[in-house]
Amino acid sequence: MGLFTGVFKRAVCNMKKTIKNICKNKSAYHNYTVVESFEAGIELLGTEVKSLRLSRTNLKDSWCSIAKGQLFLNRMHVSHYKQGNIFNHDPLRTRRLLAHKHEIMRLYGVVKQQGYSLVPLSIYLKGSLFKIQVGLCKGKKIYDKRRALLEKSTKRDIQRAFKESRM
């Protein structure tokens, strides 16, 4: 009896999920205001998994769409795996995202009625599974982008001045 409880405790300890960031979409934060974000799984091929583990991906021009009650990720670039030979995939293929049906239907209603966009924000490895963070976003106007850059530069100047005054 003591043997089995020890095995169970070790299994529970090994189930703790570590998170490793693979790729982040910095331009999404510049072009959009993120209202809400959620996590979804991603359906990948074998060579895509190997390329993602090497962080050979780009989310810059990608977006999410809803078709036939399913969530899809469009134009995410995953580079070819060098040892993949003929089994390599199309780098820009459309990939299906794995989310709950009620969540997809709620997002579909918001996107169609209120004019929001679904934008992938980051890809990360959670345990042994690849997850993608999708944001429900509203597009920024040019003056909003300028204001955000101005605030960012003033914060940076304040930090520099504070750091110099401490020395």
Q: How far apart are CA 149 and CA 167, in angstroms?
A: 27
Assigned domain for 4 exists: no
Assigned domain for 101 exists: yes
- The tokens describing 35, both together, are 């209202």
- The CATH number for 80's domain is 2.40.280.10
Assigned domain for 164 exists: no
Structural domain of residue 80, as residue ranges? 18-140
**0.85 exceeded by the pTM?**
no
Assigned domain for 125 exists: yes
Q: Looking up tokens 């991603």, which residue turns up?
A: 42
**What is the chain's mean pLDDT, rounded?**
88
Assigned domain for 149 exists: no
Assigned domain for 128 exists: yes
Strands 70-74 and 95-98: antiparallel
User: Across residues 155-162, what is the average pLDDT?
Assistant: 93
CA 110: distance to chain centroid? 20
The model's pLDDT over 48-72, given as tens digits with 9 standing for 90+, comes to: 999 999 999 999 999 999 999 999 9
Q: How many domains does the chain have?
A: 1
Q: How far separated are the first and last CA of the chain, in Å rounded? A: 62
